[in-house]
Structure 1
Amino acid sequence: MKIEELKTILKATVVVGEDQLDTVITGGGAAELMEDVLSAAAKGCALLTGATTARVMQTARVMQVGAVVIVRGKQPTEEVIKLARDFNIALLSTEYSLFVACGRLYMNGMRGLDGSW
């Protein structure tokens, strides 16, 4: 799935990364605790989270995440936006809850990172 499709499915706003909409996302995962991301994320995946701290982008960079989606209509701080630009990681925001956003992506073919199909 490309970031453009992810954007459409989640009715998301692209905060950073309009030039990355053709990037392919390898799967998806959701976490509020960045420690969970460190143990489960995969290169090129989408990370869905309600967290809006700089640590989200720092963790996304370490794990080579393809896109970060902030849920529940939360808006990232200027620091988070700057880091997304600096790290060249697409950053999106959706009004959907974490649960609903994950469900919508799953129903449209995105799979999780745990290997279950």
Structure 2
Amino acid sequence: MKISEIKEILKGRMLCGEDRMDAVIVAGGAADLMEDVLAAAAKGCVLLTGVTTDHVIRTSKIVGVETIVIVRGKNPPKEFIEMAKSFEIPLMVTEYSLFVACGRLYMNGIRGLDGSW
């Protein structure tokens, strides 16, 4: 699935990375604890989270997350968006809760990082 499709499914608003909308997402995961992301995320995945600290961007870069979705309509700080831009990680916001956003992606074909994909 492409980032553009995720944006459509989640009724997302891009904060940066509009030039990467054709990038392919291989799976998805959701976490607010970055140690969980380090343990389970895979290169080319989408990360859904409610956290807007620099740890999210740094962890995503280390793991190879392809795009980050911030849930519950949170407006991340300017520094967060600038860091995502500098690391070339597309960033979007959705009004959906973490649970609903994950469910919508799953219903549309994104599989989790637990081996079920």
TM-score range, shorter chain: over 0.9
Q: Paired residues, what number? A: 117
Per-residue deviation, 1:116: 1.8
Determine the C-alpha separation between the residues in 2 that align with 1:109 and 1:65.
18
Q: The residue matched to 1:48 in structure 2 has which SS? A: strand
User: Which 4+ stretches in 1 moved above 4 angstroms?
Assistant: none
The 3-state SS of whatever aligns with 1:95 is coil
- Tell me which residue corresponds to 2:77: 77
Whole-Å Cα distance in 2 between the matches of residues 15 and 91 of structure 1?
A: 5
Which whole-Å deviations, capped at 9, do the CAs of 1:1-58 have from their partners, x for residues lacking one? Answer: 0000000000000001110000001100000100100000000100000001111000
Q: Which runs of 5+ in 1 are unaligned?
A: none
- Please give the alpha-carbon distance, in whole angstroms, between the structure 2 residues aligned to 1:113 and 1:101: 16
- The alignment-based identity, stated in percent, is 64
Structure 2, unaligned stretches of length 5 or more?
none
- The aligned counterpart of 1:99 is 99
TM-score (norm 1): 0.98
The aligned residue for residue 38 of structure 2 is: 38
Q: Secondary structure at the match of 2:102?
A: helix
Structure-2 residue corresponding to 1:114: 114
SS at match of 2:47: strand
